[in-house]
Structure 1
Amino acid sequence: MIRLLIADDHAMVRRGLQVFLATQPDIEMVGEAANGEETLERVVHLKPDVVLMDLNMPVLNGIDTTARLKKEQPHIKVIVLTSFVDYDHVLPAIRAGARGYLLKDIEPEELVAAIRRVFQGMVELHPDAAGLLMTHVTLPEGAEASSGPGRQEEAVQELGKLTRREQEVLQLIASGMNNREISEALYITEKTVKTHVSHLLDKLGVADRTQAAIYALKHGIV
């Protein structure tokens, strides 16, 4: 059962999402919040697995709330559900720790499928969001993304550090597979997959699977 909390400052949006998602047999609606501060307070008691997060909220916006959640409740997976798909929203949201970035015009069935996949450990990105990320490597806040010859040469050197198997694992991470699915695809144990993931994150200098997926998209590994 997927425990879900909705964070959005529009009551009609929350109600519409609840009406549909409550019909799903594997999703339990545990609560809602109208701003970031409420979200942070309620996740402590309601213990959701996934939070649907609006970005434009009062008191504390969705990006800052996501960053706080990642620090304070790292097991909770955040899916941004917004009307914005531009550089100033997409990259900060992913940097903050969001595992998904979707637009509010998404079909209900597609939203349910995305929630299930993120719950399983996959990354879900709207095509326009993925397109933006393909042109920018995720960097620490305040750093400038570079796609010039020097950066490309550096990327080639980084990828050259990966073993053939690590490159295969990176491709599958970027395609949205979790560790269990990767182990089945490559006929290796999940423990071995975890070891490969740990090694490739270290070699590429990225913090987590989301950044590894972005890196792979950026450099055409998928």
Structure 2
Amino acid sequence: MSGPLRVLVADDQDLIRGGFAMILDAQDGITVVGEAADGAEAVERAVALRPDLVLMDIRMPRLDGVAATAEICRRTSAKVLVLTMYDVDEHVYDALRAGAGGFLLKDVRRDDLVRAVRLVAAGEALLAPSVTRRLVEDVVRRGTARPELRRRLAALTDRERDTLRQVARGLSNAEIAAELTVSEHTVKTHVSSVLGKLGLRDRAQAVVFAYESGLAVPGAE
């Protein structure tokens, strides 16, 4: 990515929105290009400003954060990092399905906020264990993988499927490289190929896909 990381901050609470914007804009290599006070404005500003990442409150008036995330992901290439008050917020899972690359609690520490923004902007998934656990519980409750997703797995090579399983475990590229005894560059190539073949935006959606397709099995290593 050339130039500074461009961020749009969307939150209906002025103090929280302004605080996050001030923290991020003070960082080297990050520029806050705009703010939005509700979901509809977030979509409008994302389309107009073309940020690299949108920091999105999950509960907002006019258009909630889930619907706004889906619309932004459909109409732009921006990554979305959602904000919530509770790590058990049922809407977090919906936001991940809609295209969000991860989530943060609103009481996040300054350094963790900056790190998360950089990670998600770079295409890394940022999923707390509680969210992954909800995903697994949902798959177990339904008792079966979605057949249409199983069919899409046929497009992947054996090594790409192996890579996707490790992504679903939450491993980094370096950790996957060690697990599969390949170079980190090879892992990056496999991850990119998996996302392209399956039509996924990022690693967060890959984790969801791996569990919902049945490729990743709850409790398996």
TM-score with structure 2 setting the length = 0.76
Of the candidates 114, 134, 159, which is equivalent to residue 116 of structure 2? 114
Residue identity (%): 38
Is structure 2 residue 107 aligned with structure 1 residue 105?
yes
Q: Which moved more, 1:96-105 or 1:121-130?
A: 121-130
Is structure 2 residue 23 aligned with structure 1 residue 24?
no
Is structure 2 residue 38 aligned with structure 1 residue 38?
no
Deviations 1:109-151 (A, max 9, x none): 11111111111111112332222122224xxxxxxx7443xx2
Contact 1:183 1:193 (C-alpha < 8 Å) held by counterparts: no
Q: How far is the alpha carbon of 1:218 from its aligned partner? A: 5.6
Q: How far is the alpha carbon of 1:176 from its aligned partner? A: 5.5
TM-score with structure 1 setting the length = 0.76
Contact 1:101 1:129 (C-alpha < 8 Å) held by counterparts: no
Q: How far is the alpha carbon of 1:90 from its aligned partner? A: 2.0
Matches within 5 A, 1:119-198: 119-137=121-139, 146-148=141-143, 151=144, 164-174=158-168, 175=170, 177=172, 186-187=182-183, 188=186, 191=189, 193-198=191-196
Q: How far is the alpha carbon of 1:85 from its aligned partner? A: 3.0
Contact 1:103 1:126 (C-alpha < 8 Å) held by counterparts: no
Aligned to 2:17: 14
Contact 2:11 2:17 (C-alpha < 8 Å) held by counterparts: yes
Aligned pair count? 206
Letter matched to residue 110 of structure 1: D
Any idea what SS the aligned residue of 1:9 has?
Answer: coil
Deviations 1:135-194 (A, max 9, x none): 224xxxxxxx7443xx27x8xx88x9665412331144333546x997897333855553
Contact 1:66 1:96 (C-alpha < 8 Å) held by counterparts: yes
Any idea what SS the aligned residue of 1:28 has?
Answer: strand
Q: Rate the CA distance shift 1:198–1:41 in 2: closer, same or farther, 3 A.
A: closer
Aligned to 2:90: 88
Any idea what SS the aligned residue of 1:39 has?
Answer: helix
Contact 1:136 1:218 (C-alpha < 8 Å) held by counterparts: no
Letter matched to residue 186 of structure 1: V
Q: Rate the CA distance shift 1:6–1:176 in 2: closer, same or farther, 3 A.
A: farther
Q: Structure 1 regions of 5+ residues with no counterpart? A: 138-144
Of the candidates 204, 207, 220, which is equivalent to residue 213 of structure 1? 207
Distance 1:8 1:99 in 2: 17
Q: Rate the CA distance shift 1:208–1:122 in 2: closer, same or farther, 3 A.
A: closer
Any idea what SS the aligned residue of 1:5 has?
Answer: strand
Of the candidates 76, 79, 90, which is equivalent to residue 77 of structure 1? 79
Any idea what SS the aligned residue of 1:12 has?
Answer: helix
Any idea what SS the aligned residue of 2:138 has?
Answer: coil
